[in-house]
Amino acid sequence: MRLRALLISMTLCGAAAAAAHDYQPAFDPSRLKGPAAGPANEIMVLGSPHLSQLPKTFRASSLSLLNERLAAWKPQAIAVEERSGPQCDFMRRYVERYREAIDSYCWDTAPARAATGLDVPQATAEAEKLLAAWPAAPSSAQRWRLAAVFLAGGESTSAMVQWLRLPAAEQRAGDGLDDALVARLQKLEVRPNESVMIAAQLAARLGHERVHAMDDQTAGRPYTDRKAAGEAIMKAWDNPANAKRKKEDEILDQGVGSAEGLLALYRAYNAPAHVAATFEIDFGAAMSEPSPQRFGRQYVGYWETRNLRMAANIREVAGVTPGTRLLVIVGASHKGYLEAYLHQMHDVRLVDTAQVLR
């Protein structure tokens, strides 16, 4: 009897495990789209290379055709893969956990605080106050002030939008925007960076006053053995799909010195085949790497958490003004995840990037 009971118990446990593995929720938000009246939010996710990593043949002028097509789509808001000032301020309160992210991604706002007298929370509140009462035709002094406040709040790219909207003769120090802050903006303007050379330029061209930082670095935790983790994940990345991608990238990189060649690169990076291969090369390979510490699965957990938080930040931007047409500019590896997560939202319609880049 005991043996029979044990066999029955094992059978039931196996069935339960199989049922848990196969379970699919009945509730699917992506099938419950709204609203019943009024425009839905339209979101287009542009997968981008990091311009700083392109060959030296890249020129800012190579972005002309891409930026023309994006401008023709007429986004009403633009979100970029950057950390917001408030997030960097939060991470600085937990410096031991986030030291690497702070050093890599968070600009020291001390020069802007010295110029304006505002710390990050104060500057964030002041920027919102200024924008709420922003005139249709702001003066140069008002733009200098808002640029300085954005810098004090850790929002460099939004400060760049204000800088670009100034007449050339007025791109100088004034009203809180001192020489040190002007030097920072001048340096940012020419550094290869998609947040500035695409997003800020496009925002200024379309009459926007800011961009929205939507990246999130709070998911990262230091590995217990960073060297071993790096070796395990690098080994997982050494796969045929990655070798194929490198050859494809070598061909695409040859064209980045021209507008036609760079547009071709963006078309390739936003194609479904590129998105699918990214999983095979990177996250799918890492998920299956065999280290006892499961380093690959830790990495995938970080990646999914980061993208979920990014998607939440993007959704928040669209939620503030329902019916928004929002352009998201992000590293190409994020594109598939962000589109999948955003598609779950009731009030979001994804736009096919390929149609805009034709």
Backbone angles phi, psi at 341, to 5 degrees: -70, -45
Q: How many CB atoms lie within 10 A of CB 346?
A: 13
Residue 305, pLDDT score: 97
Distance CA 46, CA 65 (A): 14
Helix (H) or strand (E) holding 349: strand 348-350
Residue 125 three-state SS: helix
Helix (H) or strand (E) holding 48: strand 41-48
Is the predicted pLDDT of residue 199 greater than 90, yes or no? yes
Q: How would residue 220 be classed by pLDDT, with cut points 50, 70 and 90? A: confident
| HEC string for 22-40 | HCCCCCCHHHCCCCCCCCC
Residue 221, pLDDT score: 76
Residue 263, pLDDT score: 98
Strands lying side by side in the sheet with 325-331:
212-213, 77-80, 325-331, 41-48, 348-350
Q: pLDDT tens, 274-304? A: 999 999 999 999 999 999 999 999 999 999 9
Q: Which candidate, 160, 148, 166, places its Cα nearest to that of 187?
A: 160
**Chain-centre distance of CA 128, in angstroms?**
22
Of 2-16, 92-106, 201-215, least confident by mean pLDDT is 2-16
Domain residue spans of the chain: 82-213
Of 18-32, 96-110, 239-253, least confident by mean pLDDT is 18-32
